[in-house]
Amino acid sequence: MLKNFDDLQKLGKDNVDVALKQLGVVSKGFQVIAAEVADYSKKSFESSSAAAEKLLGSKSFEKVIEVQSEFVKTAYEGFVAEATKLGELYADLAKETYKPFEGYIAKVSPAK
């Protein structure tokens, strides 16, 4: 009976260890994602402001169309690049979140 209690106690400690490791990984991953989103937002705002200044300084309708087209193109390319980068960050976060469970699942799964 004492052996089973010790095993149960060790299993509980292992559960807490895995949960704490996972919490640390998730926290760090979300910090990286939040920093990336903040950086992209800042760049996007600066780009929009620069485009607005160019538009206000345009002397002809053709120049307005040129500036607007250039802005839309760069904004779209930047968005696609950022979405790809964020997708990779989320995928890495999912992989890192699962890692603490790999060893744990092997320990608690019944032997065949």
Q: Which residue segment(s) compose the domain that 64 sits in?
A: 14-106
Within-domain flag for 86: yes
Rounded to whole angstroms, the Cα distance separating 47 from 54 reads 11
Tens-digit pLDDT profile for residues 40-77: 999 999 999 999 999 999 999 999 999 999 999 999 99
Confidence at residue 111, expressed as pLDDT on a 0 to 100 scale: 55
Confidence at residue 98, expressed as pLDDT on a 0 to 100 scale: 82
In this prediction, residues 4-21 reach a mean pLDDT of 77
Within-domain flag for 8: no
Within-domain flag for 80: yes
Domain count, the chain: 1
Within-domain flag for 30: yes
Rounded to whole angstroms, the Cα distance separating 33 from 6 reads 41
